[in-house]
Amino acid sequence: LNMSLGPSQVNTIHKLYSNQFRLGRGADSKADDVNNAVTRGENIFSFAVVRNPWTRLVSGYRDKLSGEVTPGRPAFRGLARRIAHEMNLRDNMTNSGTHPTFNQYLRWLVDNPNKLNDHFTPQHLQLCIPSARYDYVIPLEYSGVLNKDINQKINTTLQLSGAYDSVSDPRLQSSAVLSREWLSQQDHQVIDRLYQIYKADFALMDYSNFSHPDFPLPMHRK
């Protein structure tokens, strides 16, 4: 971590995006541990896990806004209803659906780049890059492979968070398969505008486009 940052900036970063495997279990204790370590002048090992923006968009929609029954959906019912209502009015749809379609979700993101919550905000902004520096920035697609390296650094045997899909090859996981299918059906202007919003996230790992054979893997994997 960039040790030139003050305790308040470090607190902001780690309270929201802290390393749950190294610090205390509660959110407040994590922030306190980080601030105390900074005050003592200790070095802090810090890492972040990022994901291909296209699969992240699809996963965010499926888990938070779609009609699928998923663990994250109940807390986002209000947001789903608001987006569906706004977009149905715009599309002159008379039905009172409680979930936006995937196309409506993408167009809403394009038109509301300043209203995005943590699940849809560009990852580099959430991680305070470039103000904050990380020892490791790990692509989610390789979290299983890189888990051993992180374990050695933080002296734990816990597993890094990964995709919910049980398929080990990221190219065959449902989010990747649906991303190829759903995104290829969208208007090119919408796709281009989404790319501009998440352009820096693509650059983080030189992530592949959904039309690439090795999607969603980083292009510099070799």
pLDDT at 122: 92
Q: For residues 54 and 183, is the Cβ–Cβ distance under 8 A?
A: yes
Q: What is the mean pLDDT of residues 48-55?
A: 92
pLDDT at 38: 52
d(CA 193, CA 100): 19
pLDDT at 148: 75
pLDDT-based confidence at residue 24 (cuts at 50, 70, 90): very low
Residue 158's closest CA among 170, 145, 148, 167? 148
pLDDT beyond 60 at 35: no
pLDDT-based confidence at residue 41 (cuts at 50, 70, 90): low
pLDDT at 71: 58
pLDDT at 47: 81
pLDDT beyond 70 at 80: yes
Full 3-state SS string of 101-132: CHHHHHHHHHHCCCCCCCCCCCHHHHCCCCCC
pLDDT at 21: 35
pLDDT at 195: 95
Q: Which two tokens stand for residue 102?
A: 């995937």
Among 18-22, 55-59, 140-144, name the one with the lowest average pLDDT. Answer: 18-22
Q: What is the mean pLDDT of residues 141-155?
A: 77
pLDDT beyond 70 at 34: no
pLDDT at 151: 77
Q: Which two tokens stand for residue 33?
A: 């541990």
Q: What is the mean pLDDT of residues 119-140?
A: 83
pLDDT beyond 60 at 214: yes
Q: What angle do CA 64, 133, 214 make, to 5 degrees?
A: 55
pLDDT beyond 70 at 20: no
pLDDT beyond 70 at 113: yes
pLDDT beyond 90 at 10: no
Residue 91's closest CA among 114, 111, 76, 73? 111
pLDDT at 28: 45
